[in-house]
Structure 1
Amino acid sequence: MGIYGAINSAVSGLAAQATALENISGNVANSQTTGFKRLDTTFSDLVSGGGATQAAQVSGTTFATSRATNTVQGDITSVDVDTYMAINGEGYFVVTQASDVVDGSTTFADETYYTRAGDFERDKEGYLINASGYYLQGFPLDPDTGNAIGDNPTVVRIENQPLSASATTTVEYQANLPRIPDTTDYDGTTDASALLDAGVGTSDIAVADEQDFLDTSVSGGSITIYNENGTAMNVEVRYAKTANYNSTGPVFDEWTMYIGSGGDATNAWYDVGDVTFDTTGELNGMTAGSIGTVNGTSDGFTIASLNIGGTTAANVEFSFANGSLTQYSDPDGTTSSVSLDQDGYPAGELTGVAVDESGRVIASYSNSQQRAVYEIPLATFEAEQNLRRVDGAGFAATTSSGEADLTGGGQILAKKLELSNADIADEFSKLIVTQQAYSANSRIVTSADEMLDSALNMVR
């Protein structure tokens, strides 16, 4: 081979170092690209022929190949965008690209791609798209069970459709009634003066008797509930004591629960039912009133049709479960420890979209409700270093990488982004070595040229 072989080897070195320089250049250019995976360079030698043993051989040429760093994770940084996310560990987001716009709606390509760039934001059509134009895919969730639907991910879309109302079915009620209520009519000495005015009757409170009722009853709290179409109804509760425990009278203290009618022309307050307490202050009996029935477990009242101010709600249960209604002595003579909680809500408009730490897309609504609408899968591969790189920090599966497995992967981190794994300082270090190697190879060419000139001059 001789001098010509040396020139050939040096030229191959120049080409290999040029490839390394190109990789370094691309890495530096993408040092701030979200989810970018740098390409390192591997050099391989080609042994020159000419001998059966190493002693008879000479160093051959070289060539450069790119080496993937997909398994090298970039730094993860916090961001303030609810739909941004990063992957801690293995895996890729499953994405696709738009193919066309038909009648104002985006259609999508059949190809599936994969990326670590989690800078997804919701566009005007409700899709989650990142800065490179990739649309996120996920499993839609069943609104009733919360389980994923189907085995193939679809493009994530959160539309502006309002969340429908849900009627109140249960009011969890907690209160402690005083042993002696401090009503307006209570004279401070005779317990009987704290009882309900007998003139108002033992059922619903007529409008004409409302003031006498208010003077001989205590507040039991209030809460807003919702009927089937989401109309709000203000429920106001009052209690009136109707019997005191003593040695000659009733065995138990007795109270009647009332709910305000909200402006009914005939009745100001509805009789829900009676409750009795034993000497320890525990609830031990219930009796149905004009609008309430004792529920099946005898720990609350159910109102089949509650009409307040002309608005009706059906089958509302006031639950005293787990001993939440008591009558313990209270020096203030007022209802204490009052807590009302209900399970209904009005219709709501979409106010925001976020991703949680379990990898689910959460839609938030103006009625303070949240719904998990998609589950985000992570794709893993048997040989991810053999994925084919595509534009926008994306990858495509190949026969060498294997098919995507959507059952594993690392952890999704909400409001985080994975940065490029290309470090400028490291790239500059490689740049110095590459530049020196390129100069050295060019020097070989120059020296070989001078040697050829010397050989040619020998015959002159």
Structure 2
Amino acid sequence: MLGHTTRSLFHVREYAMSSIINAVHTAVSGLNSQSHAFTDLSNNIANSQTTGYKASTTSFEDYVTNNELANDGESLSDSVAATTRQHTDTQGMVTTSTNSTALAISGNGFFNVVQATGQSNDSTPVLGTQQYYTRNGDFSQDKNGYLVNTSGYYLEGYNVDATSGTLGTSLSAIQVPSSIAFRPTESTKLTATGTLDSSSTTPVGQGTDMKATAYDSTGTASTVDLTWTKVNDTTWTVKDANDTTGTSNSATVTFDSTGAVSSVTSQNSAGTSSTSSTSFDYTGSPQDMTVSLSGVTLGSANTVSMTSDSVTSGTFSGISMGTDGSVMATFDNGYSQLVAKIPLTTFADPNSLSAQNGQAYTATSQSGSPQINAVNTNGAGTLTTGSIEESTTDLTGDLSKLIVAQQAYGANTKVVSTADQLLQTTLAMIQ
């Protein structure tokens, strides 16, 4: 009888110790999980003023293990685990910034950025090949003219080629140095001035040339050469010197008794004829333009010349950002010119991006491949200039959650303390 009682006490002690140790294990997992929540909440609170920061939340899940408290073969939950959930798709409030080159996205897109991996001998940054994505659009120019945000990431876009003036098709860091050259504006009008010889010094069938440098939309120069030919004392023809047929960009100009232009009958390269008082339409290379002849009069010598309306010089004064993603160089002559275009990148699951330092992310297999879009297309979103996107931290809500997590942590600590007392009592039963 005594042996039976001893065996029963042994089983009671074994069961009690197993249950107590299991309770300690559960409480410790609770402590770890609440510590995880503390980390997430403190990170949110610390970054409540961080531009482009996306607040995260903590998700808890129970773990079921094989334990002796199970009834009828059913296992019970005896631990908890915590995981961080990203919310990169949450829109932050857009607020005005004192930084004129700051940009804020309203939508699903991200800026394409890269990091510097070092510096060259002339202190130019050496940019890495790893592609990053961010919502921190607080960009400003560094000493080399690159657009860099407050986390040190370099903004990428499609740059305009300095030689050809055309927009590139591959991403590269946007740089607008102070030494950037002004590209002449596109010519839209050619203006002829001077005199044509109405005397016998210039016989019928002869005349003179006038030339001007015209520029296309990329700033590329071309020479326009027009030839004047005398028909009679009051009538001249003017035509494109490079047209051997004599039917393209030609006009018959009639002068009145005072020597001023009275009418212009022209024919362009499309075969269209028109009559004007002082001008005719020039079509072809480098582009279609208007040729004004009002400044030409009859005189005693051929001194006619021609100029275009292109602005050919300007000094760089700064940059401006457009809501369509345009980065413009501004000049002291009042003109601005496109130097780069900013696209936005979207992902099928932005919450699966891998978070990096400085409010940046990298793509993962779960996030899907990056899709590069023009601003305001395919859900990429719109841009607001001179503005930033604020942190999505709910400071009041997170402080409340912090109190709840603190209470839960304290409760789990109490469980460990109580389990320790029970364990000491159980051990005393063995002695």
Q: Same fold per TM (> 0.5)? A: yes
1:144 deviation in Å? 11
For 2:52 and 2:28, the matched residues in 1 are separated by 35
2:160/2:338 contact within 8 Å kept: yes
For 1:23, which of 27, 37, 40 is the aligned residue?
40
Aligned identity (percent) is: 32
In structure 2, the partner of 1:383 is 349
For 1:450, which of 402, 421, 427 is the aligned residue?
421
Are residues 455 and 31 of structure 1, via their aligned partners in 2, closer, same or farther at CA, if it must alter by over 3 Å? same
For 1:315, which of 294, 306, 317 is the aligned residue?
306
1:302/1:315 contact within 8 Å kept: no
2:107/2:381 contact within 8 Å kept: yes
Are residues 344 and 54 of structure 1, via their aligned partners in 2, closer, same or farther at CA, if it must alter by over 3 Å? farther
Unpaired stretches in structure 2, ≥5 consecutive residues? 1-17, 199-211, 216-255, 265-274, 284-289, 298-302
SS at match of 1:429: helix
In structure 1, the partner of 2:370 is 404
Are residues 402 and 286 of structure 1, via their aligned partners in 2, closer, same or farther at CA, if it must alter by over 3 Å? closer
Deviation digits for residues 252-300 of structure 1 (CA, Å, limit 9, x no counterpart): xx796xxxxxxxxxxxxxx652369xxxxxxx8748xxxxx86679x97
Is 2:262 the partner of 1:274? yes
SS at match of 2:403: helix
1:83 deviation in Å? 1.1
Matches within 5 A, 1:39-188: 39-50=56-67, 56-104=74-122, 105-141=124-160, 148-150=167-169, 152-160=170-178, 161-166=180-185, 170=189
Are residues 383 and 255 of structure 1, via their aligned partners in 2, closer, same or farther at CA, if it must alter by over 3 Å? farther
1:102 deviation in Å? 1.5
1:403 deviation in Å? 2.0
Is 2:340 the partner of 1:349? no
Is 2:293 the partner of 1:302? yes
For 1:402 and 1:103, the matched residues in 2 are separated by 38
SS at match of 1:59: strand
2:139/2:149 contact within 8 Å kept: yes
Are residues 85 and 314 of structure 1, via their aligned partners in 2, closer, same or farther at CA, if it must alter by over 3 Å? farther
In structure 1, the partner of 2:407 is 436
For 1:378 and 1:139, the matched residues in 2 are separated by 11
For 1:428 and 1:364, the matched residues in 2 are separated by 46
For 1:27 and 1:365, the matched residues in 2 are separated by 43
Q: What amino acid maps onto 2:86 in structure 1?
A: A
SS at match of 1:47: strand
1:14/1:441 contact within 8 Å kept: yes
SS at match of 1:60: strand
In the alignment of these two chains, the number of paired residues is 333
SS at match of 1:24: helix
The RMSD of aligned alpha carbons is 3.7
Are residues 144 and 162 of structure 1, via their aligned partners in 2, closer, same or farther at CA, if it must alter by over 3 Å? closer
For 1:419, which of 390, 400, 406 is the aligned residue?
390
Q: What amino acid maps onto 2:261 in structure 1?
A: G
Is 2:330 the partner of 1:364? yes
SS at match of 2:92: coil
Q: What amino acid maps onto 2:21 in structure 1?
A: Y
Are residues 313 and 86 of structure 1, via their aligned partners in 2, closer, same or farther at CA, if it must alter by over 3 Å? farther
1:84/1:414 contact within 8 Å kept: yes
Q: Which moved more, 1:7-16 or 1:43-52?
A: 43-52
Are residues 389 and 227 of structure 1, via their aligned partners in 2, closer, same or farther at CA, if it must alter by over 3 Å? same
For 2:41 and 2:183, the matched residues in 1 are separated by 55
SS at match of 2:393: coil
1:301 deviation in Å? 3.5
Q: What amino acid maps onto 1:138 in structure 2?
A: G
Deviation digits for residues 11-65 of structure 1 (CA, Å, limit 9, x no counterpart): 0100110011011111111111110112211111111214786774333111111
Is 2:30 the partner of 1:13? yes
Q: What amino acid maps onto 2:405 in structure 1?
A: T
Q: What amino acid maps onto 2:324 in structure 1?
A: S
Q: What amino acid maps onto 1:162 in structure 2?
A: A
For 2:257 and 2:429, the matched residues in 1 are separated by 127
For 1:285 and 1:115, the matched residues in 2 are separated by 57
1:166/1:228 contact within 8 Å kept: no
Are residues 350 and 16 of structure 1, via their aligned partners in 2, closer, same or farther at CA, if it must alter by over 3 Å? same
TM-score (norm 1): 0.64
Is 2:365 the partner of 1:394? no
1:295/1:302 contact within 8 Å kept: no
Q: What amino acid maps onto 2:135 in structure 1?
A: R
TM-score (norm 2): 0.68
Q: Which moved more, 1:156-165 or 1:84-93?
A: 156-165
SS at match of 1:364: strand
For 2:424 and 2:44, the matched residues in 1 are separated by 41
Are residues 368 and 70 of structure 1, via their aligned partners in 2, closer, same or farther at CA, if it must alter by over 3 Å? same
Matches within 5 A, 1:170-319: 170=189, 273-274=261-262, 286=277, 301-302=292-293, 315-316=306-307
1:255/1:274 contact within 8 Å kept: no
2:27/2:79 contact within 8 Å kept: yes
1:167 deviation in Å? 8.3
For 2:316 and 2:304, the matched residues in 1 are separated by 26
Q: What amino acid maps onto 1:122 in structure 2?
A: Q
1:359 deviation in Å? 1.2
SS at match of 1:21: helix
Q: Which moved more, 1:98-107 or 1:66-75?
A: 98-107
For 2:92 and 2:358, the matched residues in 1 are separated by 16
Q: Which moved more, 1:125-134 or 1:364-373?
A: 364-373
SS at match of 1:458: helix
Are residues 313 and 66 of structure 1, via their aligned partners in 2, closer, same or farther at CA, if it must alter by over 3 Å? farther
1:351 deviation in Å? 1.1
1:255/1:275 contact within 8 Å kept: no
For 2:165 and 2:183, the matched residues in 1 are separated by 17
Q: What amino acid maps onto 1:362 in structure 2?
A: M
2:190/2:291 contact within 8 Å kept: no
SS at match of 1:385: helix
In structure 1, the partner of 2:252 is none
